[in-house]
Amino acid sequence: METKKSSHIVRRSFALPKNLVDEVTALAPAHARKNLNRLVTVVLRDFAARQKERAFEEAMVRMAADPAIRNEGASISREFRVCERDGLKDD
């Protein structure tokens, strides 16, 4: 019995409102306008990137509010203050 090789492509079927498809297609990059699969891939990659960026920004906000991290940053800043007086003109 022959087994199928694992694919890097996942096939799904979904229904979308026509007006949404028309709107997104009109706004899509040229390489994705005539290929709905490619367009969905572009949109999902963009969505994933934005979600990761949002999660990173939220983590940075939490870090900025963390007293221990703020104290450590202030300590590092004090230690390197002498390096700021290197005699070079500030740009």
**7-50 confidence digits (pLDDT tens):** 898 998 989 999 999 999 999 989 888 999 999 999 999 999 99
Alpha helical stretches, state H, the chain = 18-27, 36-65, 67-80
pLDDT tens digits along 54-91: 999 999 999 999 999 999 999 999 888 877 776 677 65
As for how many domains the chain has, the answer is 1
**Residue 8 lies inside a defined structural domain of this protein:** no
Those residues with Cβ within 8 angstroms of residue 43's Cβ, 6 or more apart along the chain or in another chain:
24
pTM across the whole model: 0.66
Does residue 51 form part of some domain? yes
In a domain, 91, yes or no: no
Residue 2 falls inside a structural domain = no
State which residues form the domain around 70.
31-83
- Closest C-alpha to 56, from 46, 66, 64, 44: 64
Tell me if 18 is assigned to some domain.
Answer: no
Q: List the structure tokens of 44.
A: 């999902």
